[in-house]
Amino acid sequence: MAKITYIEFDGSEHVADVKPGLSVMEGAIRNNVPGIDADCGGACACATCHVYVDEAFQEATGKPSAMEESMLDFAENVQPNSRLSCQIRVSDALDGLVVRLPESQH
């Protein structure tokens, strides 16, 4: 299990143990983390699971695919560390990952 910290826009933290192989989005949904809507269910067909990846984990989470970058065009307040959490696969290397949630997913 990888321990992932989800930080809401207001600073509220949610720490969840997420099974390797799941996505960061699935970890949020399974642990009732508010702020990740996941309207498309993880198909990389919306931008309602937008997160900001902590700088220390940017390399470990990898670079977004071309499809993910296209979907990020629909997100608000995109930053260089923006990712769609449905596209980040959890592994042991992501133990301790911190992601911050934007003010809104719409």
The Cα 78–Cα 95 span in angstroms is 24
pLDDT tens readout for residues 65-104: 999 999 999 999 999 999 999 999 999 999 999 999 999 9
Task: Kindly state the tokens that stand for 56.
Answer: 């220390």
Three-class secondary structure of residue 97 per DSSP: coil
Task: Kindly state the tokens that stand for 68.
Answer: 């993910």
Mean pLDDT of 32-53: 95
Strand 98-100 relative to strand 2-7, pairing: parallel
Element containing residue 82 per DSSP (H, E): strand 82-84
Torsion of CA 60, 12, 19, 73, to 10 degrees: -50
